[in-house]
Structure 1
Amino acid sequence: MSIQPWPTTNWPKGVSREIADFEHPLFSFLDDAARDYPDNVYTIFNGGTRTFAQVKQAADRVANFLAASGIKKGDRVAIFLPNLPHYPEIYFGILKAGAVCVTCNPLYTPSELNYQLKDSGSKVVFCMDHPQFYPTTVQAIQETGVETVVICNVKAFLPPVKRILGALLNKIPKAESHEPGHVMYDEIMASYPAQAPDVEINPSEDLALIIYTGGTTGVPKGAALTHANFVFDVKAMDEWVYLSQEPGAPPEKIRKGGFHCYIGVLPWYHSFGMTMCMLTSCASGSRLICVPDPRAGNPPFTEVLKLVQTYRPTILVGVPTIFSAFENHPLLDKYDLSSLICCASGGAPLPVELAKNFEAKTGSIIFEGYGLSETSPVITGNPSDKDLRLFGSVGFPVSNTDIKIVDSETGITVLPQGEDGEIAVNGPQVMKGYWQKPDADKEVFREIDGKRYFLTGDIGHIDENGYILITDRKKDLILVGGFNCYPREVEEVLFQHPKVAQAAVVGVPDPRSGEAVKAYVQLREGMTATEQEILDFCKEKLAGYKRPRAIEFRDALPTSPVGKVLRRVLKEEAKQK
């Protein structure tokens, strides 16, 4: 084997340290599922369903449309949608056209989306027919290379009765008006044959996605990921997870062919929800419940509980705030969650008591993993065996993956087991690099023992039993409910306020989201402002999870001898409070 055994006696039984056969186009997951399980349901939305055969046909129509619109291999196509049933069809259709998916957060403001469309050079954008999302798109495409806008309405995906009632009661969301020349998704489905163009794909070299992340520092950068990056990560998860899938049955790999049902509470524009939910459900021929807004209902998250009771999902992939929302929901006891067999947690540390309480109430198992957008995302996982997992750790590297702990200064010197340092990873899931940012690549890649390692920016160590523990973050990245918030981006918005002279943003502990954004503001001489005034200003320019939850005004901010604001001092003060 070219990959060394991991230093532990607790390696999960049956899991190979090395796997093969992942050099395939990413859309092969859909093609294979449509061949093997054509009549099995793939997507579920508001009572309406689409089979794998139907989703493949729709993806082929999308690919045909894109090719006819002049999209060529390597061109970028953006998806600006929540978790709607259109998403897998468009996603795989883009890949079948040989193009590169650019996944966009549907909560973005026009300026945030504009930056992403410009930076990626996207030529087409798919958006929702909605009074908020569509106007955002119209504003965002200004001064970009976007030539085609496709508008996606949910009506066609509803059961006939809901379509009629929704139309009569004006409950089906739609924009007030559409710009001339913009294309309706339903027109594509009606006008283009289900015949994808013949495009040669090199899975290890050709890009499948550009996913925007701040990495360890700075404004968002596009992580450029290949087809093989994602195919490997899905197959690695299939190798990793062993479950007892019926009462008293021995552990086995995730069953295929419709036994399982995934609930899509994590957004699919994010690599965690995309890989662990949308792609994994497709690869296993499983059902997928589309959840555009997991917070829907009164109180929030009630609609998700209803979906669990109605459709009986077996697998839930979430960040700790999702499990907390379930566990602390005042109506939890009124809903039957017993269908849940397995839950995967990532994006932020999982509190031990939360995990124990959730398992006690549902009878499922949560196993925690670790990854980044730059790594497709999963690089480590706790064993799915309750006897082998270690709460507080992120487990072991998945197959074909090597982790080293290196010095934080150079990222080259490998540190002894047990010593804290920066986590570096080598594996088939690691991105090619940042989109058109070679200088950023130099910062995060190192050659160690003849192999290319990615520096994660996280600090941790490997304990005496081989478990990886993350102890800190190298930079000031803030994790809000599993989503990355970059202080500099928020600070740039604060500096746009005419009354702000200095600003610094840090993450502070928050019982609901793990961390929340707090801003420290120094006003210009002679100026006055209220906290609400600054918060309202941020609301216009930042997605919800990036907005400060508190503003603290200071006469002066702590600085270094050269005048650099010391965020770490502010963060320490906040912790002490």
Structure 2
Amino acid sequence: MFTRHHAVWPRGLPKQLRLPETSLFTNLEISARRYPDKPAIIYYDTRITYTELLREVEALAGFLQAQGVGKGEPVLLYMQNSPQFIIAYYAILRADAMVVPVNPMNQTAELEHYVADTEAVLCLCGQELVGQIVPLVGRAQLRQVIVTAYGDYLWQATDLLLPAEVQAPMRAPDFVGGVAWREALEAGYLPGEHTAGPDDLCVMPYSSGTTGAPKGCAHTHRSSMATALHRSVWLRNTCEEVVLATLPFFHVTGMQSGMNAPIYTGGTAVVMTRWDRRVAATLIQRYRITSWGNIATMAIDFLSDPEVERYDLSSLQSIGGGGAAMPEAIEEKLRHLTGLAYVEGYGLSETIAATHINPPERPKAQCLGVPVFDVDSRIIDVASGEEKGVNEVGEIVSHGPQIFQGYWKRPEETVRAFIELGGKRFFRTGDLGYYDEEGYFFLVDRVKRMINASGFKVWPSEVESLMYRHPAIRECCVISTPDPRRGEAVKACIVLHEEVEGSVTEQEVIDWCQQEMAAYKVPAQVEFMSDLPRTSTGKLMWRVLQDQETARHAGHGSDQAGPG
């Protein structure tokens, strides 16, 4: 067991933490009994109590079961942050099914894989995203889409600037298989007994791999409970916690820190559908926000507001996040503004958020943190599996209660994702790092081929696969290029078909990509080439192109990739 970090362990906290032998849904049920009239959600000044939240969840769960959704079955959840996301998430759990959160930036071509891979029969969808999912109804097993308009949960007047998606009125679904959200809730179905336990399937976020095809990371209620509980105890949160939920709920960090953790403690989540720095500052001041999880791009935008210092931010007790390292200069500005050190953590979809968090009293900048409760992390040689020592770089591997069960329908990849050390099963993160004398872990590079754009994981082979749909592209290789704002951005090296050379521009390719894939995957740069480097066996030598790009920008500097 790795114990080097015990000397810097938060004072008064146990090193082991027993997990509840209950489902994640039970957390909502218990909080609703304890704090019935307390706001579980505040949504642009509308308060939704725990009693109201549980009532909506029960009604939707009954409808889901009436549609034939069974125990452990995957249900797609395709929405932006909203009360409906939380209601849908917990309704799926109440129905004993498994949540499959889908990035709302995904386009139809990307959704095809989720529909085929999960064979889900039902999707809960934000109204603004209907056009992307409707073409897939009738594919595989998908036959029903429940559609909601976020503005339906604005029950009280507000002076806050609302995103267009929240202002839009509800439009009745006019396609076969479409069901209006309110129609589903008012159908009058009661759910059966909740039977899911700690070892049943709970949630399956998707994580791409070197093959490019996104892979479902199957989590049980136990592993999902672990990081929600760990965060709450590590940061000493209580039922008085008020969280500003700006990180997306489909992503494991936002899911756990902005939704599942506060529901566990009986806290309040102040939910934003879209990021807006003025609205965020107003909400911190208005609702005395105590904790805010964010990423570097949000913090940079927040601090760049010339009016930020006129807001009362004194209620904040913790600021932190993961996904990408917080630049030191930005961390210093946040500390000057709030008096708080930025607390970074590290985790992946396979660990449903953090395996490592910085001790709040002794955080280190650009650091992944230390292994949290019951987590054993090591550094190993990538090839041999031999364990490394202090300040020696190798692959980060972790053993703990939050580790996933495996990749959905991919037993061989699941086997490759683990290694046995001393009789224990460790997950191979694919990240290169090291730990220092005090047991703090740091990220150095990646074993896997991945681009980290503002915390969003971009898998080059997935982008390449989508780009090959462009009729002018003969060959394509996606690499990363330094970006002063995002840390890394996507660059596509392209060989065009001879007959279209000179008639297609780089910008036209970028414009096409914007229509075909999520915005964070769209190449920021396109470079046309006469050919791409390949081995004698024809294998694409992407590393050659990456090294050339890195050398081209050497000396200019770029942000270190941070915890994911």
Q: TM-score normalised by the shorter chain: which range applies?
A: over 0.9
Per-residue deviation at 1:377? 1.5
Which of 337, 345, 367 aligns to 1:361? It is: 337
Aligned match of 2:370: 396
Structure 1: unaligned runs, 5 residues or longer: 242-252
Partner amino acid for 1:80?
Y
Matched letter for residue 481 of structure 1 = S
Deviation by residue 1:126-162 (Cα, 9 ceiling, x = unmatched): 11223xx112121233413112211112343112557
Correspondence for 1:533 = 508
Tell me, yes or no, if the aligned pair for 1:44 and 1:50 is still in contact at 8 Å. yes
Indicate which of 481, 488, 494 corresponds to 1:508.
Answer: 481
Say if 1:321 and 1:512, in contact at 8 Å, map to a contact too. yes
Q: Which residue of the partner structure matches residue 17 of structure 2? A: 19
Q: Match for residue 322 of structure 2?
A: 346
Letter in 1 for 2:404: M
Report 1:289-368 matches (<5 A).
Answer: 289-294=270-275, 296=276, 301-368=277-344
Task: Give the deviation of 1:363 after TM superposition.
Answer: 2.5
Question: Secondary structure at the residue paired with 2:516?
Answer: coil
1:476 to 438, 449, 453: 449
What root-mean-square deviation, in Å, do the aligned CA atoms of Structure 1 and Structure 2 show?
2.1
**Cα separation, 2, equivalents of 1:173 and 1:335:** 32
CA distance in 2, matches of 1:335, 1:550: 38
2:67 maps to 69
Percent identity of the aligned residues? Answer: 31
Decide whether aligned partners of structure 1 residues 181 and 116 sit closer, same or farther in structure 2, where only a CA change above 3 A counts.
Answer: closer
| TM-superposed deviation, 1:7 | 4.7
Establish whether residue 254 from structure 1 lines up as the match of residue 237 from structure 2.
yes
Which residues in structure 2 correspond to 1:79-158 (within 5 Å)?
79-130=77-128, 133-158=129-154
SS of aligned partner of 1:191: coil
- Give the Cα separation in 1 of the matches to 2:7 and 2:469: 55
Q: Secondary structure at the match of 1:565?
A: coil
Report the Cα offset of residue 421 of structure 1: 0.7
Secondary structure of 2:392's aligned partner: coil
Counterpart selection for 1:285 from 257, 261, 266: 266
Match of 1:441 among 392, 396, 414: 414
- Distance in 2 between the 1:271 and 1:152 partners? 23
CA 1:495 to 1:172, structure 2 compared with 1: closer, same or farther past 3 Å?
Answer: closer
2:232 equivalent among 229, 238, 242: 238
Number of equivalences: 545
The answer to whether the Cα contact below 8 Å between 1:61 and 1:189 also exists between their aligned partners in 2 is yes
**For 1:148 and 1:493, how far apart are their aligned partners in 2?**
26
SS, match of residue 573 in structure 1: helix
- C-alpha separation in 2, matches of 1:180 and 1:403: 50
Q: Equivalents in 2 of 1:357, 1:161: separation in Å?
A: 34
Confirm or deny: 8 A CA contact 2:59 2:185 kept in the other structure.
yes
Q: Deviations over 1:26-60 (max 9, x none)?
A: 11110111011111001111221110111111111
For 2:246 and 2:234, how far apart are their aligned partners in 1? 22
Per-residue CA deviations over 1:395-428 (Å, capped at 9, x if unaligned) read 2100010001111124x32222321111111001
What is aligned with 2:558?
A: none
Aligned partner letter, 1:223 = C
Q: Which residue number corresponds to residue 557 of structure 2? A: none
Q: Partner amino acid for 1:200? A: T
Counterpart residue type for residue 198 of structure 2? P
Q: What is the alpha-carbon distance in structure 2 between the residues aligned to residue 558 and residue 463 of structure 1?
A: 38
Pick from 215, 219, 222: which aligns with 2:216?
Answer: 222
| CA deviation map 1:195-225 (0-9, x unaligned) | 4311322312x11011111145522100001
Distance (whole Å) between structure 2 residues aligned to residue 319 and residue 162 of structure 1: 27
Q: Which amino acid aligns with 1:395?
A: G
Shift in alpha-carbon separation, 1:216–1:44, aligned structure 2, 3 A: farther
Q: CA, structure 1 residues 507+183, in 2 after alignment: closer, same or farther (shift >3 Å)?
A: same
Amino acid across the alignment from 1:260: E
Shift of 1:330: 3.9
SS at match of 1:470: strand
Specify the code of the residue in structure 2 equivalent to 1:123.
Answer: V
**TM (normalized to structure 1)?**
0.90
Q: What runs of 5+ residues in structure 2 fail to find an aligned partner?
A: 554-564
1:523-569, Cα deviation, whole Å (9 max, x unpaired):
22242221111101211211000000111112222333433332222
Measure, in 2, the Cα distance between the counterparts of 1:214 and 1:181.
Answer: 29
User: Residues of 2 paired with 1:538 and 1:392: CA distance?
Assistant: 32
Aligned to 1:244: none
Check the 8 A contact 1:382/1:396 in 2, yes or no.
yes
